[in-house]
Homo-oligomer: A and B are copies of this chain.
Amino acid sequence: MANAPTRAILIAGGAGFIGSHLAERLLNDDCRVIIADNFVTGSRQNLEHLASNPNLTVVEANVREPLRLDKALADSVLAEIYNLASPASPKHYQKDPIDTLLTNVLGAHNLLELAAKHGADYFQASTSEVYGDPAVHPQTETYWGNVNPIGIRSCYDEGKRAAETLCFDHARKRGAKVRVGRIFNTYGPRMARDDGRVVSNFIVQALAGTPLTIYGDGKQSRSFQYIDDLVAGILAVMRQGDMGPFNLGNPDEFTMRELADKVLAMTGSKSQIVTEPLPQDDPTRRCPDISKARALGWEPKVALEEGLQKTIEYFRGLV
């Protein structure tokens, strides 16, 4: 009896923070994984511990162009595509905003075309940023959002919104097998230390003994999701039949000030806290309603202290 062809899984943006964790999890599950990344914000360092795995293939590619995977696929069948290809922190996505928008729009389109060609399931990494500076709390997936279309964050927000549009139109018009997850603030090992996000900023600053920077009055809240919870959520969304969108986040809210205090206490740092003005269009509050994802049997399990502990250990190892 001939062997069934191997199923392969493509992770676009697989060298990034989330992508590398998703790859690790899928490799641990004995899947064959192809990572496509242009290494602009993703890094080869994120993949070092996976490099010796024979089930992993890494392709340098830009999703703004159609991918050529024939060689990487060899005899396997492309069964799933995860589109995580975009810079994701304001600092990085604002560096080349035109590229950010086009990467999100063309990346989604090209990967949806690839999914159609191979009959693959497609996961779109969307974002809580589609809600902008939300006027309702917590945010449910039916909320249409409050996004400034012409502000300095809009390259990402509008790019991700347009990518969702493409997903649903590919599903409605071409029968694409799409799942959309709206990812809220996520943290953990392998966050880029320079990407300007609050958890990595605070930890890096605390460990270095430099002041922790709070923007605005520090009362703006965020929910923080540990990366392992997110990866479980992505797989839960992908491996069921509803397109979504599904919020994927941890609904426990903390203010920036609370987070700073926690990081200082857990690192034993003597750093001061300093304040700077709030950047333009920075949302004052954001918190997911995750009823819909919960109904799939998923929920976040890692408490903030536990996740922070692991993340602090990671950054200690780098210092």
Contact = CB atoms under 8 A, between A and B. Distances in A.
A183 to B, nearest CB: 15
Contacts of A145: 147, 149
B158 A101 contact: no
Contact of A169 (B97, B148, B167): B97
Interface residues of A, number: 36
Given A130-B149, A148-B144, A161-B158, A169 B101 contact: yes
B98 A169 contact: yes
A12 to B, nearest CB: 18
A121 interface: no
Q: How many copies does the complex hold?
A: 2
Nearest to A154: B165
A158 B162 contact: yes
A132 B158 contact: no
Nearest to A170: B98
A304 to B, nearest CB: 30
Interface in A140-162: 144-152, 154-155, 158-159, 161-162
A130 B145 CA distance: 13
A169 B144 contact: no
Contacts of A59: none
B162 A162 contact: yes
